[in-house]
Amino acid sequence: MDPIAEPWWKRSVIYQIYPRSFMDSNGDGIGDLQGILSKLDYLVHLGVEVIWLSPIYDSPNDDNGYDIRNYQAIMQEFGTMNDFETLIAEGKKRGIKIVMDLVINHTSDEHPWFVESRSAKTSNYRDYYIWREGNKEQPPNNWGSIFSGSAWEKDEKTNSYYLHLFSKKQPDLNWEHVPLRNDLYDMMKFWLDKGISGFRMDVINFISKDLNFRDGIVHPNQLYGDGSPYYMNGPKVHTYLREMNEKVLRHYDALTVGEMPGAGPEDAKIYTNPKNQEVDMIFTFEHMNLDSGPFEKWDVKPLNLVELKRNFEKWQQALHQTGWNSLYWNNHDQPRIVSRFGDSELYRVESAKMLAICLHMLQGTPYIYQGEEFGMTNVKFDSIENYRDIETINMYKEKRQQGIHHDEIMACIYAKGRDNARTPMQWTKAGGFTEGIPWIQMNPNYLEVNAEQALADSSSIFYTYQKLIRLRKEHDILTYGSFHLLLPDHPYLFVYKRRTEEAEWLVVTNFSKRTEQIEWNLLEAPYQEGKLIISNYERPKTDEGVIKVRPYEAFVFAFERRK
């Protein structure tokens, strides 16, 4: 591949910051931009070259910034525009690019557009949002909101309903309306002209709705209809993305990653094929949905590793040389991976490293979520009062009203609640996030699990991540090699190969606390000739052509390919 033609993000690893929980510089208990600035050198040490910031725009924080009141102002609690410009400049000095979150499927109901829009049916901004008349005093259709309740809210002023796929303080924008689209494109240019390097686009495949607004199917145990077939990957989504690219993105060297629930590999091929000029990569949810039932994330079930492997295989193969994958285990919406697919009690360090190695050897751009690099875990607060996430709180209330027992709901929250990811960064043995009272309680395990400890221990999870980031820069095979799944039906081991014409890498990972034996000849690789690239135990254990894979063990061997 001609390096000149290679986009920079193909070898980058992106670090996500959830600013509210990252680092508080002024003791108000809320993370801020100065806090981020003070930790840039930590990120340099990890090897990070790109930061994705969850929203930092002015917001009433119904959904922690995913409800934007002013797209061109910084949230007061986070600092000033000057702080943000300093962050871009200081990042640049250190070779760190800044990617912003772009939330343009909806705004806050406090955004001036919505305030105007709801004021009268004749308002110039009426068509910026999706208004419909009710149906005999009932909402226009039966769709449920992703944050519980109906997706429609009646507005008394004009006696009509507006659509909100998320909370009622997050009205959906009407992308059919050209002036709205142009305003959004101007806003995007404003930030790109400031020197940011791209956008992570919030639920961007929801922007085009099927305008028939038909009722959705009511699945078992659900109170509302499922509107998702009518708003996910909707009729004009590709048209809008191409227009956005033409009007804005192609004029900048910017990375774009579309968050796309409900997009499969066939959709991803269209969205991410460079020829289509839509987005560079998307976030799939398929692998994150494997430990839930089909209709809601709170219906928790154990992961079946065979399904996970098959899923990765499908995505790796579909996008190889056609589009591009993003690779992630964690973000601000997902529980902590070491508590989820690893073992945060007995094998926290081993399993966190194993999960990292497993993901970072794949083809695509990996994302690391704050705290993942030293194995932060899920949290269990006893009382719902200690939770802050609107999705969790609304779900709790709705299920309590249905008569479901507190303990049963809490078990779901412990497994899947978003606040698992949002407890403050554990910087030191003393916590280190704030000198005040944090907006959400810390995970009490900060005494053992913290960045300070990880930095001081050369065998910590942190240094595994550091090495993985470096390997991606040094080895073409990680960027370009094809993917081949081995032992597809093995219930505990995830084994695969990456291959180019010159080299072959073998990745062996154990997703269980059992010791598993495998014969080398099944792996079709000459063990004696292999060069160990990375592992989470000392040298792998072999004996006469058999290899023992210990609990949560992971290792990677490189081989030269025989001509």
Sheet holding 482-486, edge to edge: 482-486, 493-499, 503-510, 554-560, 531-535
Among 164, 174, 169, 184, which residue's Cα sits nearest to residue 130? Answer: 174
Phi (first) and psi of residue 391, to 5 degrees: -60, -45
Cβ neighbours for 278, distance < 8 A, ≥ 6 positions apart = 238, 241, 242, 245, 258, 270, 271, 272
DSSP letter at 353 equals H
Nearest distance, CB of residue 458 and ligand NOJ, angstroms: 35
The one catalytic residue among 67, 77, 202, 391: 202
Write down how long the chain is. 563
Helix (H) or strand (E) holding 507: strand 503-510
Nearer to ligand NOJ, 145 or 316 (CB): 145
Residue from 66, 152, 439, 446 in contact with ligand NOJ (CB under 6 A): 66
Longest dimension (CA), the chain: 81
Nearest distance, CB of residue 545 and ligand NOJ, angstroms: 47
Nearer to ligand NOJ, 201 or 354 (CB): 201
- Scored b (16 or more CB within 10 A) or e, 425-455 reads bbbeeebbbbeeebbbebbebbeebbbebbb
Nearer to ligand NOJ, 283 or 494 (CB): 283
What span, in angstroms and rounded, lies between the C-alpha atoms of 283 and 334? 13
Interface with ligand NOJ in residues 258-277 (CB under 6 A): 259
User: How big is the site for ligand NOJ, counted in residues (CB under 6 A)?
Assistant: 9
Site membership for ligand NOJ, residue 369 (CB under 6 A)? no
How many CB atoms sit inside 10 A of residue 545's CB? 9
Interface with ligand NOJ in residues 90-109 (CB under 6 A): 103
Residue from 63, 77, 280, 372 in contact with ligand NOJ (CB under 6 A): 63
Residue from 22, 71, 78, 166 in contact with ligand NOJ (CB under 6 A): 166
Nearest distance, CB of residue 234 and ligand NOJ, angstroms: 16
Task: Dig out the tokens for 481 from the structure.
Answer: 């090699």
How many CB atoms sit inside 10 A of residue 556's CB? 22
Nearer to ligand NOJ, 77 or 333 (CB): 333
The CB-nearest residue to ligand NOJ is 66
DSSP letter at 496 equals E
Nearest distance, CB of residue 296 and ligand NOJ, angstroms: 16
Nearest distance, CB of residue 53 and ligand NOJ, angstroms: 13
Residue that has been written with the tokens 């005494």 in this structure? 447
Nearer to ligand NOJ, 191 or 557 (CB): 191
Interface with ligand NOJ in residues 309-368 (CB under 6 A): 332-333
Nearest distance, CB of residue 175 and ligand NOJ, angstroms: 15
Nearest distance, CB of residue 267 and ligand NOJ, angstroms: 17
Cβ neighbours for 253, distance < 8 A, ≥ 6 positions apart = 8, 197
202 is catalytic: yes
What span, in angstroms and rounded, lies between the C-alpha atoms of 78 and 85? 13
Nearer to ligand NOJ, 203 or 355 (CB): 203
Site map (CB under 6 A) of ligand NOJ, residues 406-445, x = contact: ----------------------------------------
Nearest distance, CB of residue 391 and ligand NOJ, angstroms: 7
Residue that has been written with the tokens 């390096």 in this structure? 3
Among 144, 412, 147, which residue's Cα sits nearest to residue 298? Answer: 412
- Reduced to 3 states (helix: H, G, I; strand: E, B; else coil), residue 466 is helix
Nearest distance, CB of residue 261 and ligand NOJ, angstroms: 8
What span, in angstroms and rounded, lies between the C-alpha atoms of 44 and 413? 34
- Reduced to 3 states (helix: H, G, I; strand: E, B; else coil), residue 150 is strand
Site membership for ligand NOJ, residue 202 (CB under 6 A)? yes
Nearer to ligand NOJ, 103 or 449 (CB): 103
Nearer to ligand NOJ, 419 or 504 (CB): 419
Nearer to ligand NOJ, 39 or 332 (CB): 332
Phi (first) and psi of residue 331, to 5 degrees: -160, -170
Site membership for ligand NOJ, residue 372 (CB under 6 A)? no
**Residue 399 near residue 416, CB atoms below 8 Å:** no
The one catalytic residue among 32, 259, 278, 350: 259
The DSSP bridge pattern shows strands 503-510 and 554-560 to be antiparallel
Residue from 23, 74, 75, 203 in contact with ligand NOJ (CB under 6 A): 203
- With 0-12 CB in 10 A as exposed, 13-18 as middle and 19+ as buried, what is 93? exposed
Strands (E), 54-96: 57-58, 70-74
What residues make contact with ligand NOJ under the rule CB under 6 A? Answer: 63, 66, 103, 166, 202-203, 259, 332-333
**Catalytic residue list:** 202, 259
